[in-house]
Chain A
Amino acid sequence: EAQVTQNPRYLITVTGKKLTVTCSQNMNHEYMSWYRQDPGLGLRQIYYSMNVEVTDKGDVPEGYKVSRKEKRNFPLILESPSPNQTSLYFCASSSSPGRGRKSYEQYFGPGTRLTVT
């Protein structure tokens, strides 16, 4: 089954304790992206990756790191989490956006609800 998986789905942690949220897709997609969603603010893009070893900042990259060493994985790293990073996080993927029919459709993971106290 084609899917995007995220782990963990729920996480409660304390300020300053490094954490990684994993994202994996099994569709051989080139494009992957991380978003956070907060009430009243819609989705905001954190980082995106057009392909392996190619990453770039979205609208809210501060406090986050990413890496894309393999095509299928795109982990999100919070080196020193703070309470303002409490949010719902989504990972998404698509094939090279715009090249080919339906290639621009992003598939979203189920979300990771993170609470930083």
Chain B
Amino acid sequence: EDKVVQSPLSLVVHEGDTVTLNCSYEVTNFRSLLWYKQEKKAPTFLFMLTSSGIEKKSGRLSSILDKKELFSILNITATQTGDSAIYLCAVGLNAGGTSYGKLTFGQGTILTVHP
């Protein structure tokens, strides 16, 4: 059975802190790993990673994938209250030549950033 596990499940920090969110997986036919941010409504896309060791960056957020050890991390530096959200990790499988078809998600990490 394909499995994606995120840790921690919840995290409370203060503005300016740096956080690291973890996502580990045990799946067959890995194709990609994706990160999403979910505030009050629908998830929004952050990153997709397919190769080990290549860091993706977007402002204060960055992510890296380790396909040997089967995990990814999402780093947020200098956190702000607007970073408070659920962060979801998903692994793309069964792609038929594309980056994902089936997507298996982790439980999510609830991040709360206090002023």
On chain B, which size bracket covers the interface? Answer: 20 to 34
- On whether the beta carbons of A106 and B45 are closer than 8 Å, the reply is yes
Q: What residues on A are CB-neighbors of B96 within 8 Å?
A: 50
Q: What residues on A are CB-neighbors of B32 within 8 Å?
A: 97-98, 104
On chain A, which size bracket covers the interface? Answer: 20 to 34
Indicate which residue in A48, A98, A99, A104 contacts B102 across the interface (CB closer than 8 Å): A48
30 contacts between A and B (CB under 8 A): A31-B98, A42-B88, A42-B106, A43-B88, A43-B90, A44-B105, A45-B102, A45-B104, A48-B101, A48-B103, A56-B94, A56-B102, A57-B102, A59-B2, A59-B104, A96-B98, A97-B32, A97-B98, A97-B99, A97-B100, A98-B95, A98-B97, A98-B98, A99-B98, A104-B99, A105-B45, A106-B45, A108-B42, A108-B44, A111-B42
Chain B residues within CB distance 8 Å of chain A = 2, 6, 31-32, 34, 41-45, 48, 50, 88, 90, 92, 94-108
